[in-house]
Amino acid sequence: MKAVSKTNTGLVRQGNEDAVLTDAPDLYAIADGMGGYIGGEIASAETIKVLKEEKKNFAGLTGDALCEALKEAAVKANGHLRQLVCQMPDYEGMGTTLVAVYLAADGKAYALNIGDSRLYLWRGGTLTQITEDHSYVAQLLSNGDITSEEARRHPQRNVILRAVGADADLEADVFSFDVQAGDRLLLCSDGLSDMATDEEIAAVLAEKHTEKAADALIELALNNGGRDNVSVILLDFEAEER
């Protein structure tokens, strides 16, 4: 398997509130912080730190046991951020999205998702978003109140309904799915998904070279305006290794 990660401040923001984890060969994650530059940067970095520390508890687990361990890692990160706010009241309101993939011993991929950073599966030339956005606009779209095009322009498209650190009780999506030879997984912050359509992302992913494809995704977001920090992780499952 090949893994490539990229992050870029973008063309508007002064700093980068995204944090990226590539802990080969099995744990990969992106956290997109919020709550002001310093607060967002701390929230995302600290959440990734906790997740990496919790990785030791994932070893050898599969199925429901691994799902519970991933949820527990998110709960610990949530508690950690809330404790930091108690110590530093100026950071009240800080939080972060979190999307992660753990490649387990059973050959499956296990996903952890909170917020609107995304996990996509590219298989056989088809791109599928396999996480659900926990956002106000995604809820409107799901209810049929707005169209996909209206969602892309909606003034409240950055309002998320779940975030690590936001509430005492954290609800996380955790699930597993099969991966096979030739699959490509894309983890990204909304700095990509807000700046590019799924069709544009899919066109870039037709590039077979992992590094070139990752660079092209960053370039796509920047060429479309680069209004936010943008981070991507590409995981390629090669036939000779499966």
Ordered by start, the domain boundaries in the chain are 12-188
Q: What pLDDT, on a 0 to 100 scale, did the predictor assign at position 241?
A: 38
Q: Which pLDDT score, from 0 to 100, does residue 139 have?
A: 76
Class in CATH terms, 12-188: alpha beta
Task: Please report the pLDDT score of residue 190 as a whole number.
Answer: 95
In what side-by-side order are the strands of the sheet with 118-123?
2-8, 230-236, 184-188, 118-123, 126-129
Residue 94 CA to residue 166 CA, distance in Å, equals 7
Per-residue pLDDT at 242: 32
How far is CA 59 from each of CA 14, 128, 171, rounded to the nearest angstrom?
38, 28, 23
- Kindly give the confidence (pLDDT) of every residue in the chain, 242 residues in length, as a single tens digit, with 9 standing for 90 and above: 999 999 999 999 999 999 999 999 999 999 999 987 689 999 999 999 999 999 999 999 999 999 999 999 999 999 999 999 999 888 888 999 999 999 999 999 999 999 999 999 999 999 999 999 987 777 776 777 676 766 666 666 677 899 999 999 999 999 999 999 999 999 999 999 999 999 999 999 999 999 999 999 999 999 999 999 999 999 999 864 33
b vs e for 99-120, b when ≥16 Cβ sit within 10 Å of the residue's Cβ? bbbbbbeeebbbbbbbbbbbbb
Quote the pLDDT of residue 147.
67
What pTM was computed for the model? 0.94
Beta-strand relationship, 98-103 and 126-129: unpaired
Helices (H), the chain: 37-54, 63-87, 136-142, 148-153, 190-193, 198-205, 210-223
